[in-house]
Structure formats: structure tokens, C-alpha cells
């Protein structure tokens, strides 16, 4: 009963958005000498501070105003941020991040660590954030920016290393560590004369200092991440340094559902863009920590939480003050500009072509190259405004023309595709040139048939190249660009693209086979070591992910990340099915879809699927390969695949899903087939969630089941397949008849 009352009180608090005082509820039997404190945390918000809903109308980005309401409802809670908060959207960039810091201050944040992108406005601007965040004499609002390992080359410290926060008598010691990758993952100019000390050594010193001051809990606030590509990860600190109770982490955009325990240290991280709020609960008995756990509160949890009026007013004012600048229409596109993360980081896209064409035109360079990771989102067909440009290109990069040799360009291309086919931010988008690469060769020996203006690249010839100032200084690992002679700077990406669009009227960029994955003729493939994924440990689909990737039915997004909760696209789904059939190769049939081009990574899968009547496409002649797939759409496609194989299974009359009425009529058969074949059996609570987007983890689960189903029935004779089809069809008719009878009986009643 007490638990029900607590849940009701909390729900009323959040929905009404007001509280008369803190809510304190002790579980039955709990000892009164225990005390629980809560750390609410964010990371990699990237300026996404406004609540946002997706195309389905459901909340997918929580927003600061809802976070404030929830934080106020939790007793003994503190707010912390693990970096990359001030930069990334038009709203955050319009006043160089200052508005974000002001809102955080009003929300009651207690500390943050600067992420590499918080350096994007320049080091002096970051020092300015520190001053802005500190409490004024007449106010308790304020927080510290902690960076114990960041010092000037002269030895001076601009940032505090630690702070001690009193939470209802519990002394919480917090220290901050920034990533040394800032040197290459922000413009190198932003960290000139700045040093990043060894984080392990600094962490040991900070823990020692805080213990000497008698703190009860030690928290490391870090922008290090747990991506294996990082030199020193948060998990490395946890292994090397004893005494850290909790690490609130950022940088790798990792969604840790229940945290990760390393050497008794609990590591917590939320993902990105405030799609989740992290919550760590620590219970103490006296000075002893007796339990600690991490959970994520996702956007669905916050759907009915009211926005804090004061915070919403602050944000609305920033939007209103800059309305004209943010909503200014600068151009129009006849097609969607594809800036999806998994696409720009793994293949040529029409948005990448548009941007690099603009760079080459404004600079007059021979060629242009930008990193796919610099394109942060897609822009739908229609009018294009400045907010969309800022959101797509949030880093404040300028376009720079440099002179370098053909050998330098070749080295850059090799670097760019070094992790392919896994997605990586360094993947190149190009203009004025074309090339092919073979992923079966070892990194550094993959690129061939490079052409500039239709002629073979000459390693000794000097060319001019337009890129961004970040890469021109060796950013994202493009070291060969640092060898180039700097010629001129042509202004911000957003400004250049604004002028380019204004002069073009309506644009309709296409993929033009500038970048083609192919095989080097007569060259033996290189052996490639298998690496583990760091973001699936403890995930419900961990075992099936390992199984399907080992069998090469599925690949990771990078060599070390699988991104199990990322949405899948239509192109991805049919490509994986084609791979299961051994058909992810050149097809004899012709492509019928206008938006599937030769050389697209999903081309073979789409053609195979259309030829086998597994997909039909849309009435306008498109396939929409980059469109996210709902669970019912996935079921419909899988159902057709299973039926095409003639695999026998029992279509028994199972209890309908609790949300059966939400399943579209066109998808019912696919849902039935996949359910009774044991491929898609629904989620907890007998829910199918037909309109939810299918995830990579769910597709891995599907492929695991399909592979076993296909293998078990590979020796079926044609007659047996025919009989199975008849049996299935008969069961469908029986089910339909029973449904009609039940409907008639219900109507009569």
C-alpha cells in the first residue's frame, strides 16, 4: 500500500508540476539509520534542451523543463552533467552556448565537466562559462565546471578540480576529468597552449584528496566514454583507481540501461540528446555505502510530466528573441537531404554531396572533403530554414582551402575508409573527385581508382582542397591535411550553405557513385581480426548479437560498437535478409526504385527483395531505404519472407496481443506468421507495440531465430513445402472464421 501511495504521489507531482514539499517515503522494514541520495545526470545533450516529439507524436527528447520538474520531486537529489551540453543546435549556437549555461544554472545543476564540444566556442569562452555558472552573492543558484586534468601549458589552472556537495548531511565529493581527445575532436586552435594531464594519475590524486577531507561518497564526473577506440576510457580509470564509488560518464553516447560495474565502481551514462535522464541511487548506513544502482528514465516516462514554468519561460524567451534568425527560410529541396548517422558515417549521401559541392564552389578548390560525422541530421523535402542548417552543422566550423599533394589526398581517403564498412565519423563525403575502396583489404591499402575531374590522381601533383578548419588542422585523424598550405578561410558552413542555396532555387542532390565499395581485381583479401562490442554487455540481446555478427549476418556500427537500441531502416532490413540468403551480391534483376542508386550499400538487398516479392515499395516508385521501420512493418516483410520459403509451422489460435487493435490490417498476417513461427513473439505484458520503431537488437533477435528456422527446414522437399503452405492457409481461414463468430456473438450480446 505504501508503494502505491508513493507512486500516486510522485505521478501527481510530475503531472501537476507543483510540489508543496519534498516527498519522503520509507519502504516497510527499512532501518531508519539508512539514508538514500540520488544523482540525476545528463550527458551529450548537444544543445537539445527543448522537449521534442517524433513523427509519431511521441516524446523522444525530454527537454530541460521536464527534467527540472522531476528533479524537484526527488528528495536528496543533485543534478550533474558529463559534458557536450552547450553546443549542437541552432538554439544553443545562436548565443555561443551562454543561454544553455543560464538555463542549467536556473535548473539547479551542481557541477559539470566540459566535453570536447564545449570547447568549440574557444577556450576563453569556456572559461567564461565557468564564471557565468558560479553563484552570485545574492543567489544560491550556480554550479562548478570541473576539469582536474586541464591546465595551461604555463601550469595555471582555470578550472576547479573538485567540489564537495552536502546532500542531507552526506558529503559527496565530485571531481571532473575531460577527454584528451579534445585536442583532435574540437578545433585544435581551441586548445592551443592547453594540456590534458594523464587522467589516471589525476584521478588517484583527486581520490586521495577527497578521502582526506572525509567525504562519504566519491563521484568522478567524466567526459571520457567507454568506446574502445578511446585511448583512456572511464572503465580504464575504474580498473586503475580504487575508491571511486560512481562514474557519471559521457562522450561515447553509450546508453547504459542499468549502468556497468567495473572494479566495484558503478559507471552510468545516458546515451545522447536528452533522450534519457540518468538516475543513480546510493544508500548509506552511517558512512558505509550499502547499495548503489543506476537506471534510465526514458522519454516515454516523461510523456505526461509537466514542464517547469520558469525554465520553459527562459527557453521560450531565447526562442522568441531569435525567432527571425532561426526561422529564416534560405532555400528549398525537392528531396530529403540524408544526414542519418549510420549513412553519412558509412557511405556517400546526397546531403554530403550537396555540402561538399557548396564548399568547392565557394572556394574554387579542385576538390572538397568533409567528415561524415560533421553532418548531424537529415533535412526533409521542402523549405530549409536556418534552424535546420544549424542543427545539421552545429559545430561552428569554417570552410578552409588548403594546398596539398595527391599523395596527401590519397592518405586522407585511406584514413576515411579505414573502419569501413563499420560507421565512423571520419568517413569522407566528397566533391570534384571519385574513388573506390575494398573493405576486404587491410586499412591503408583499400583505396583505388581515384579520379579528380575525370583524370587519375597524380601523387606528386599539387591540388587545392576545401575542407573544414577542424580537419585542416588534423582533426578527426586527418593528419595529412595538417601538411597542407593554408590558403584562405571562407566563413561558417551554415553561412556558405545559406548563400549556396539562395543561388540555386530548388536543389535536388543525388548520389552519383562518387564513393563506391568494390573489389580490387586480383588482390587477395586480408585477414581481419574480430573485435568485441563494448555497448552490449548486459543487454538483453547480447548473446544473439554475438551469434549473428559472428556468422556475418549483421555488422557493428563501428569495430567496437553495435548500437543495439538504434532504429533500423528499410534498406538495413532487406540487406540483412539478403545476407541470410547469400544474396547480398550483384543481382541479375534490374532495380525498379527511383531512390535506389547503383553502388548504394543496400542496392543488392533491395533488388533481391523486390524480385522475390518480399517488398513492393511505394506508389510513387520509391523504396525509401533510409526510412525507419516500425515493428509491424518488419513483421509484414518477415512474414512474406517466411511464406516464400514454404517453412511449415503451426498457426494456432493464440490469445491476441493486448494491443491487437493497434495493428494495421495490412500487417496482421505478417504479425501472425512471425508470431507463430517463433520469430516475433511480442514484448513483456503480451504487447506487440506495432507502431514502435524496430531496433538493431530486435533485428538481431529476429535474424538469430530466422537462421535457425531456415537451417532446420533446409532439406524440405517441394511437396512438403506445398503441403505446409496449404496447412497454413487453412489455419488462416479458420482463424478468420473464428474472429467473425466472436464478433457476431459480441454484437448479439
User: Is the pLDDT higher at 736 or at 700?
Assistant: 700
Rounded distance, CA 92 to CA 111, Å? 19
Mean pLDDT, residues 615-636: 88
pTM above 0.85, yes or no: no
Cα separations in angstroms, 175 against 244, 269, 472, 691: 10, 16, 34, 43
Cα separations in angstroms, 571 against 187, 578, 626, 719: 35, 11, 6, 33
Q: Is the pLDDT of residue 532 over 80?
A: no
**Three cell numbers at 330?**
534560405
DSSP 690: T
Q: Is the pLDDT of residue 522 over 80?
A: no
Q: Pairing between strand 462-468 and 367-371?
A: parallel
Q: Which residues contact 746 (CB under 8 A, 6 or more apart)?
A: none
Instruction: Name the nearest CA neighbour of 147 among 108, 111, 101, 100.
Output: 111
Burial of 291 by CB count in 10 Å (0-12 exposed, 13-18 middle, 19+ buried)?
exposed
At 703-717, the pLDDT tens digits run 998 888 888 777 655
SS3 content of the chain, % helix, strand, coil (to 5): 35, 20, 45
Over the chain, what is the mean pLDDT?
A: 86
Rounded distance, CA 13 to CA 16, Å? 5
> If DSSP codes are grouped into helix, strand and coil, which group holds residue 354?
helix
Highest mean pLDDT among 197-206, 611-620, 628-637: 197-206
Least confident of 193-207, 325-339, 592-606: 592-606
Instruction: Name the nearest CA neighbour of 245 among 203, 196, 201, 298.
Output: 203
Mean pLDDT, residues 90-114: 94
Q: State the DSSP string of 4-23.
A: HHHHHHHHHHHHHT--SS--
Residue 536's Cα: distance from chain center in Å? 14
Q: Pairing between strand 462-468 and 428-431?
A: unpaired
Rounded distance, CA 84 to CA 513, Å? 35
The per-residue b/e assignment along 399-409, b for 16 or more CB within 10 angstroms, e otherwise, is bbbbbbbbebb
Residue with cell 558529503: 171
Instruction: Name the nearest CA neighbour of 604 among 588, 618, 619.
Output: 588
- Cα torsion 493, 498, 504, 507 to 10°: value is 70
pLDDT for 729 equals 54
Percent of the chain with pLDDT over 70: 88
Residue 83's DSSP bridge partners are none
Rounded distance, CA 399 to CA 1, Å? 63
pLDDT for 30 equals 44
Let me know: does 267 contact 247? Beta carbons within 8 Å. Answer: yes
Angle, CA of 475, 476 and 482, to the nearest 5°: 40
pLDDT for 512 equals 94
**Three cell numbers at 113?**
565537466
Mean pLDDT, residues 462-466: 97
> If DSSP codes are grouped into helix, strand and coil, which group holds residue 507?
strand
Q: Which residues contact 42 (CB under 8 A, 6 or more apart)?
A: 67, 79, 80, 81, 82, 85, 270, 274, 277, 278
User: Is the pLDDT higher at 286 or at 390?
Assistant: 286
Let me know: does 701 contact 679? Beta carbons within 8 Å. Answer: no
Q: Which residues contact 717 (CB under 8 A, 6 or more apart)?
A: none
Q: Which residues contact 644 (CB under 8 A, 6 or more apart)?
A: 612, 613, 614
Instruction: Name the nearest CA neighbour of 420 among 398, 399, 439.
Output: 439
Instruction: Name the nearest CA neighbour of 302 among 268, 271, 276, 336.
Output: 276
Q: Is the pLDDT of residue 527 over 90?
A: no
At 58-79, the pLDDT tens digits run 999 999 999 999 999 999 999 9
Rounded distance, CA 297 to CA 288, Å? 27
At 4-41, the pLDDT tens digits run 334 434 443 443 333 323 323 333 344 458 999 999 99
Instruction: Name the nearest CA neighbour of 163 among 152, 155, 171, 151.
Output: 171
**Three cell numbers at 221?**
564526473
Q: Is the pLDDT of residue 248 over 80?
A: yes
Cα separations in angstroms, 430 against 346, 358, 406, 446, 655: 13, 11, 15, 17, 54
Mean pLDDT, residues 359-368: 95
Q: Is the pLDDT of residue 181 over 90?
A: no
Q: State the DSSP string of 136-187.
A: PTT-----EEB-TTEEETTS---SBSEEEEEETTEEEEEEEE--TTHHHHS-
**Three cell numbers at 101?**
549555461
**Backbone φ, ψ for residue 329 (5° rounding):** -80, 125
Question: Which residue segments constitute the domains of the chain, with CATH numbers given?
Answer: 34-320 (3.60.21.10), 333-517 (3.90.780.10), 541-735 (no CATH)
Q: Pairing between strand 260-262 and 265-268?
A: antiparallel
Rounded distance, CA 298 to CA 12, Å? 18
- Cα torsion 92, 98, 101, 102 to 10°: value is -110
Q: pLDDT category, 213, cuts 50, 70, 90?
A: very high
Burial of 317 by CB count in 10 Å (0-12 exposed, 13-18 middle, 19+ buried)?
exposed
Phi-psi region of 76 (alpha: psi -120 to 50; beta: other; left: phi over 0): left
DSSP 557: S
**Three cell numbers at 79?**
543534478
Q: State the DSSP string of 379-446.
A: B-SEEEEHHHHHHHSTT--EEEEEEEEHHHHHHHHHHHTTTTTS--TT-EEEESEEEEE-TTSPTTS-
Rounded distance, CA 559 to CA 228, Å? 9
pLDDT for 713 equals 74
pLDDT for 19 equals 33
Rounded distance, CA 402 to CA 370, Å? 13
**Sign of the CA dihedral running 609, 611, 614, 616:** positive
Let me know: does 367 contact 467? Beta carbons within 8 Å. Answer: no
> If DSSP codes are grouped into helix, strand and coil, which group holds residue 517?
strand
User: Is the pLDDT higher at 54 or at 415?
Assistant: 415
At 640-695, the pLDDT tens digits run 998 888 776 655 556 788 888 889 999 998 898 888 888 888 887 788 888 888 99
**Three cell numbers at 9?**
504521489
Mean pLDDT, residues 422-427: 89
pLDDT for 600 equals 76
At 469-492, the pLDDT tens digits run 889 888 888 989 988 888 877 767
pLDDT for 531 equals 54
Q: Is the pLDDT of residue 3 over 70?
A: no
Residue 466's DSSP bridge partners are 368, 401
Amino acid at each position: 500500500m505504501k508503494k502505491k501511495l508513493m507512486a500516486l504521489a510522485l505521478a501527481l507531482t510530475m503531472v501537476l508540476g507543483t510540489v508543496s514539499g519534498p516527498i519522503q517515503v520509507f519502504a516497510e522494514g527499512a532501518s531508519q539509520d539508512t539514508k538514500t541520495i540520488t544523482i540525476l545526470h545528463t550527458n551529450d545533450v548537444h544543445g537539445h534542451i527543448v522537449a521534442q516529439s517524433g513523427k509519431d507524436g511521441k516524446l523522444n527528447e525530454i527537454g530541460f523543463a521536464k527534467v527540472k520538474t522531476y528533479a524537484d520531486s526527488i528528495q536528496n537529489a543533485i543534478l550533474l552533467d558529463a559534458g557536450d551540453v552547450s553546443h549542437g543546435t541552432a538554439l544553443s549556437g545562436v548565443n555561443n552556448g551562454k543561454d544553455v549555461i543560464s538555463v542549467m544554472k536556473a535548473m539547479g545543476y551542481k557541477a559539470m565537466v566540459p566535453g570536447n564540444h564545449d570547447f568549440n566556442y574557444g577556450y576563453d569562452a569556456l572559461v567564461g562559462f565557468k564564471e557565468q555558472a558560479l553563484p552570485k552573492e545574492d543567489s544560491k543558484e550556480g554550479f562548478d565546471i570541473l576539469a582536474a586534468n586541464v591546465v595551461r601549458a604555463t601550469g595555471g589552472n582555470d578550472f576547479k578540480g573538485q567540489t564537495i556537495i552536502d546532500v542531507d548531511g552526506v558529503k559527496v565529493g565530485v571531481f571532473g576529468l575531460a577527454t584528451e581527445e579534445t585536442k583532435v575532436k574540437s578545433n585544435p586552435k581551441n586548445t592551443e597552449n592547453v594540456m590534458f594531464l594523464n587522467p589516471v594519475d589525476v584521478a588517484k590524486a583527486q581520490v586521495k584528496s577527497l578521502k582526506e577531507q572525509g567525504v562519504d561518497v566519491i563521484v568522478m564526473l567524466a567526459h571520457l566514454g567507454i568506446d574502445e577506440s578511446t585511448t583512456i576510457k572511464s572503465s580504464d580509470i575504474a580498473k586503475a583507481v580504487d575508491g571511486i564509488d560512481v562514474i557519471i560518464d559521457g562522450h561515447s553516447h553509450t546508453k547504459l540501461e542499468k549502468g556497468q560495474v567495473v572494479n566495484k565502481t558503478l559507471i552510468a551514462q545516458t546515451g545522447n540528446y536528452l533522450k534519457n535522464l540518468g538516475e543513480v541511487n546510493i544508500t548509506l548506513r552511517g558512512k558505509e555505502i550499502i547499495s548503489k544502482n543506476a537506471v534510465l528514465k526514458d522519454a516515454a516516462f516523461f510523456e505526461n510530466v509537466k514542464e517547469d514554468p520558469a525554465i520553459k519561460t527562459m527557453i521560450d524567451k531565447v526562442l522568441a528573441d531569435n525567432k527571425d534568425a532561426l526561422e529564416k527560410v534560405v532555400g528549398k529541396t525537392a528531396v530529403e537531404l540524408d544526414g542519418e548517422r549510420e549513412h553519412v558515417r558509412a557511405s556517400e549521401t546526397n546531403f554530403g554531396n550537396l555540402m561538399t559541392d557548396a564548399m568547392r564552389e565557394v572556394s574554387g578548390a579542385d576538390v572538397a572533403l568533409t567528415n561524415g560525422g560533421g553532418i548531424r541530421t537529415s533535412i526533409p523535402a521542402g523549405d530549409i530554414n536556418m534552424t535546420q542548417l544549424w542543427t545539421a552543422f552545429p559545430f561552428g566550423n569554417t570552410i578552409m582551402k588548403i594546398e596539398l599533394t595527391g599523395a596527401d589526398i590519397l592518405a586522407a581517403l585511406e584514413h576515411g575508409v579505414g573502419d569501413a564498412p563499420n560507421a565512423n565519423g571520419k568517413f569522407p563525403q566528397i566533391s570534384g573527385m571519385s574513388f573506390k575502396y575494398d573493405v576486404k583489404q587491410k586499412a591503408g591499402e583499400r583505396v583505388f581508382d581515384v579520379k579528380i575531374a575525370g583524370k587519375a590522381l597524380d601523387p606528386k601533383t599539387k591540388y587545392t582542397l576545401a575542407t573544414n578548419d577542424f580537419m585542416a588542422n588534423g582533426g578527426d585523424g586527418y593528419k595529412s591535411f595538417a601538411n597542407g598550405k593554408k590558403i584562405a578561410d571562407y566563413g561558417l558552413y551554415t553561412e556558405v550553405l545559406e548563400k549556396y542555396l539562395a543561388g540555386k532555387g530548388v536543389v535536388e542532390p543525388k548520389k552519383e557513385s562518387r564513393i563506391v565499395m568494390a573489389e580490387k581485381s586480383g588482390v587477395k583479401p586480408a585477414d581481419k581480426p574480430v573485435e568485441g562490442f563494448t555497448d552490449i554487455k548486459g543487454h538483453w540481446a547480447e548473446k544473439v548479437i554475438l551469434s549473428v555478427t559472428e556468422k556475418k549476418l549483421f555488422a557493428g556500427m563501428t569495430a567496437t560498437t553495435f548500437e543495439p537500441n538504434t532504429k533500423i531502416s528499410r534498406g538495413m532490413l532487406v540487406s540483412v535478409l539478403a545476407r541470410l540468403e547469400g544474396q547480398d551480391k550483384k543481382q541479375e534483376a534490374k532495380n525498379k526504385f527511383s531512390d535506389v542508386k547503383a553502388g548504394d550499400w543496400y542496392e543488392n538487398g533491395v533488388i533481391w527483395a523486390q524480385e522475390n516479392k518480399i517488398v513492393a515499395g511505394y506508389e510513387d516508385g520509391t523504396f525509401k531505404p533510409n526510412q525507419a521501420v516500425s515493428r509491424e512493418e518488419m513483421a509484414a516483410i518477415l512474414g512474406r519472407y517466411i511464406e516464400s520459403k514454404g517453412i511449415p509451422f503451426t498457426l494456432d489460435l493464440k490469445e491476441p496481443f493486448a494491443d491487437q487493435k493497434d495493428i494495421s490490417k495490412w500487417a496482421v498476417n505478417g504479425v501472425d506468421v512471425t508470431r507463430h513461427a517463433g520469430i516475433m513473439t511480442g514484448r513483456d505484458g503480451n504487447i506487440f507495440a506495432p507502431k514502435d520503431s524496430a531496433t538493431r537488437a530486435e533485428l538481431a533477435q529476429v535474424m538469430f531465430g530466422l537462421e535457425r528456422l531456415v537451417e532446420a527446414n533446409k532439406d524440405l522437399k517441394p511437396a512438403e513445402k506445398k503441403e505446409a503452405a496449404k496447412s497454413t492457409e487453412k489455419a488462416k481461414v479458420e482463424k478468420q472464421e473464428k474472429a467473425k463468430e466472436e464478433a457476431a456473438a459480441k454484437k448479439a450480446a
